[in-house]
Structure formats: C-alpha cells, structure tokens
Amino acid sequence: MPATALPPDASTVVVTDRGAAQRRARDRALFGNFYRRELTTRYLGSLSGFAWALVHPLALLAVYHFVFTSVFRTSGFEGKSFLAFVAVALWPWLAAQEALQRGTVSLSSYAGLIRKVAFPHELVVYASIAATLTLQFGGYVAVLLVLRAFGEPLHLEGLLLAIPLWIVMAVAITGLALALASLQVFIRDVEHVLMPILMILMYLTPILYPLTLVPPDLRPWVAVNPFGWLVGRLRDALLDGRLAMQVDDLIALAVAVLMLAGGRWMFRRLSPHFEDFL
C-alpha cells in the first residue's frame, strides 16, 4: 500500500496498475536512486563534503580530548583512557545528530518531485538517513581501527555487537526523522528548534562522562535516556569485550520499533498534504 494513498474515509482511491511485488521492486529501485544521489551530492561529489563528514567528528573528538585531559585534567574513566571512552560514544551520537538534522529537511530538496509525481514520500527520508548512517558507520570503524593502531585497548570483536546496536539506533532515528520531516513541511521552525535541543541532549547523555559520575539522585533521569542505553552497550562491547545480550536490549529494541511505527503513522497522516505546502 503506497504511503500517499488512502486519505480519511470520505474518499477512496483504487489503483490497479501493478501488483504488490512490482510496486515493491519499484520502491526499491527508487530508494536506490535516492540513496546514491544523497551520497554523491553530499559526500562523494565534492572533496570538501567528504572531508567534512569525517573531519568534523574527528575535530570535535580532538577538542574534547584537549579540554578534558589538558584543561580539566581528567585521567580517564573506569580504567579506560578518555579518548577511547568518549570516541566509542561520541561518534554514534554525532552520526545520529546529523542523520536527524538532514532527515528533517530532506523533503524540501525533493519538493518538485513531490508536487508532480506520485511516489512514496517516505523513501526520501529513508534514503537520507541511510546515506548518513552508512557513511558514518564506515567512519566509526575507521576511527576504531586507528585508535587500536595507536595502542588504545579496544576489543574489536565488539563490532559484532556494534552492528546490531547501530541498526537499532537507525530504526529509532528513522522513526524520529519521519515525524520531524513531516512536521517540517508545515512548520519550518522544526529544524531550527532541533539543533539546540540536540546540543542540550548530548550533555544530558553519558557520552563525555560515565553514568557512575552522575549524583545518585539525578542518575535515574539521565539513565532513562535511550541513547544512554546505546552508548553503555557500545562501551560494554568495544571497551570491555562483553557481548552477551541483556534484558535491556529487548526493551530498547521494542522502544525503537515503537518509535518507527509512531513516526510512520504520523508521516502517513501528513504525507497526502505535502504537495500543498512544499
């Protein structure tokens, strides 16, 4: 069932131009086209785009390292060096942040298509998120390898758990992006409000510090952050080599699936009216 069909009960639209299998093939081909376009225009098309995608997180990492170790003189957390501790968590956060910000505005660059051609609009958001996350995951692996080469004590077999963790993150981020992108069509401030909110959230997530440093009475508030679960498990896997599944993992998966379902529901309600506002 295409996302643009079936508005409220007052009207019915029946289209029998091609079977469901053909429609899925068409959607896959479209997704591939959009995905390749996102990669080329954003990253591979220009040298600066590609460089920036990697330089930005690396520069941030270096700055935090400088500030925390040279200025604050922290000596690492939980027996791990500051660099490894933060890199494992900061990189996925920055990836999620970029995916959300780009995903929110992704529909506007396809405004012409949306106004003139019938296609499932959510493919645009999927392609945007996929382009960001696949590239950033590649960067993540590269950074981990570099850190390991520099002698940081990383358990690279933790990547086995990191991959499904990133997938769960992708699912949740996609749900959020669908909701935000559909809202953005009507209310252009969403992207501007998102930036400061994300910055604040980053400091409220145990990325630059371990959860254990948070005062006990405030700890539940910080712990409830789902991204906190993600960074915790990533650290378990890559810093400690603990790969076993936990109950929390299933809860997190359920939360991510719910977020995706919620985002899709909202997107489908609003999608038939994009043409009027884009």
Partner 1 sequence: MSAPLLRLAGVGKDYAKVETRGGRMRLVVDLLRGHEAADVFRALDGVSLELARGESLGLIGENGAGKSTLLKIIAGVIPPTRGTLMVNGRVGALLELGSGFHPDYTGAANIDLAAALLGLTPDEIDDKRDEIIAFADLGDHLDDPIKHYSSGMVVRLGFAVATALAPDILITDEVLAVGDESFQKKCVAWMERYLDSGGTLLLCSHSMYHVQKLCQRALWLKDGRPVREGASAPVTQAYLAYHEEKSQGAKAPMSGVAAAAAGVYAIQSLAVDPGETASQGASLTVRGEVYSPDGRAPVVLIGIVRADGTPVYGVATDMDQVQPTRLGADRFAFDLAFAALPLLPGKYFIRAHALDPEGVRLFDNVERELTITGTTRELGMVRLAHRWNGDEGAGR
Binds partner 1 (CB under 8 A): choice among 14, 149, 224, 244: 14
The residues, ordered by sequence, that sit 6+ positions from 269 with a Cβ below 8 Å of its Cβ are 182
Residue 249 or 275: the one with the smaller Cβ distance to partner 1 is 275
Q: What's the min distance (Å) between Cβ of 117 and partner 1? A: 5
Binds partner 1 (CB under 8 A): choice among 187, 197, 218, 258: 187
Residue 41 in contact with partner 1, rule: CB under 8 A = yes
Q: What's the min distance (Å) between Cβ of 5 and partner 1? A: 6
Question: Of 21-29, 128-136, 164-172, 231-239, which part binds partner 1 (CB under 8 A)?
Answer: 21-29
Question: Of 53-61, 85-93, 125-133, 269-277, which part binds partner 1 (CB under 8 A)?
Answer: 269-277
Which two three-digit tokens encode residue 264? 């899709």
Residue 278 in contact with partner 1, rule: CB under 8 A = no
Which two three-digit tokens encode residue 116? 């003139």
| C-alpha–C-alpha distance, residues 166 and 140, integer Å | 11
3-state secondary structure of 80: strand
Residue 114 or 143: the one with the smaller Cβ distance to partner 1 is 114
Question: Of 66-74, 108-116, 154-162, 191-199, which part binds partner 1 (CB under 8 A)?
Answer: 108-116
Residue 244 in contact with partner 1, rule: CB under 8 A = no
Amino acid residing at 242: R
Residue 19 in contact with partner 1, rule: CB under 8 A = no
Q: What's the min distance (Å) between Cβ of 119 and partner 1? A: 6
| Binding to partner 1, residues 119-178 (CB under 8 A) | 119
Residue 44 in contact with partner 1, rule: CB under 8 A = no
53 closest CA partner among 145, 127, 143, 122 = 143
Residue 15 in contact with partner 1, rule: CB under 8 A = yes
The CA-atom distances, in angstroms, between 35 and each of 98, 182, 191 are 16, 19, 21
- Whether the Cβ atoms of residue 60 and residue 149 lie closer than 8 Å to each other: no
CA angle 237, 241, 243 (to 5 degrees): 60
Backbone angles phi, psi at 133, to 5 degrees: -70, -35
Residue 3 or 202: the one with the smaller Cβ distance to partner 1 is 3
Instruction: Provide the sign of the torsion angle of the four alpha carbons 13, 16, 21, 27, taken in this order.
Output: negative
The residues, ordered by sequence, that sit 6+ positions from 78 with a Cβ below 8 Å of its Cβ are 85, 210, 212, 239
36 closest CA partner among 119, 117, 111, 128 = 128
Residue 183 in contact with partner 1, rule: CB under 8 A = yes
Residue 17 in contact with partner 1, rule: CB under 8 A = yes
Residue 8 in contact with partner 1, rule: CB under 8 A = yes
C-alpha gyration radius of the chain: 20
DSSP 109: G
Residue 46 in contact with partner 1, rule: CB under 8 A = no
26 closest CA partner among 14, 17, 13 = 17
Q: What's the min distance (Å) between Cβ of 14 and partner 1? A: 5
- What residue ranges bind partner 1 (CB under 8 A)? 2, 4-8, 10-18, 22, 25-26, 29-30, 33, 37, 41, 110, 112-113, 115-119, 183, 186-187, 189, 266, 269-270, 272-273, 275-277
